[in-house]
Amino acid sequence: MTGTSVLAVKYKDGVLMACDTLACYGSTKRYKSIQRMKLVGKYTVVGFTGELSDFDYISTLLDELEMTDFCQDDECPRTPKEIYNYLVRVMYNRRNKFDPLWNSLVISGWDYVEKKPFLGCVGMIGQHYVDDHVATGFGNHLARPLFRESWKEEMTEQEAEKLLKSALLSCVMRDKQMMNKFQLSKITADGPGEISEPFAIDTRWGYENYVNPTKYAPGAW
């Protein structure tokens, strides 16, 4: 079972992340209500693209980290940057065993030490980067150009949400393994992180070329 793109952007007060709730079995849209984002502690959300069972294993590792934090009871939870660095080592370690975890991960959160939002991405062989906006899967090709054109450092939450939904529309109209049922997560300094209920975005399929798609393709079905 696999999931497709995860999109995320920083704004002046936090980070927004969005993805759909579909898990595909090959090209079959098998499960349509899978939450592909996970809250880790108070200040971090992790989203995934790729194999659902491998992320289930990663979730178990993250739960163990949370339990360690809880037992220490020192009021110093791990920051998003620490979670990010931990996952980089996990993914690279499995790559070196020639048994990689088939996921791309997006780590978003509020760094309460540095007093600023954090956003990073980790690939299946441990490649990683930190940026003001990230996307995985097909979203790398469809959403990142929109982010580069429209993102600005002092965006409000409303502007960031509008940009994310515009990118989701671009993806859902083109990616056959995405469905129009999304969740949005938000992390701010106030914490804890929030993951929204599923929602749909407005789509329009009444374009002229959709009415008779084979008009200019003689011999097509």
Which amino acid is located at 120 in the chain?
Answer: G
- Domain count for the chain, please give it: 1
Considering the domain boundaries, does residue 25 fall inside one?
yes
Per-residue pLDDT for the chain (221 aa), expressed as one digit of tens each? 999 999 999 999 999 999 999 999 998 999 999 999 999 988 999 999 999 999 999 999 999 999 998 898 888 889 999 999 999 999 999 999 999 999 999 999 999 999 999 999 999 999 999 999 999 999 999 999 999 999 998 999 999 999 999 999 999 999 999 999 999 999 998 878 899 999 999 988 777 777 777 777 777 66
166 is in which domain, residue-wise? 2-211
Q: Are 40 and 61 in contact (CB under 8 A)?
A: no
CATH number for the domain harbouring residue 151:
3.60.20.10
Residue 95 buriedness (CB in 10 A; 0-12 / 13-18 / 19+): middle
Question: Is 221 domain-assigned?
Answer: no
Among residues 204, 217, 177, 218, the alpha carbon closest in space to that of 2 is found at 177
Does this model's pTM top 0.85? My answer is: yes
Residue 68 forms part of a structural domain: yes
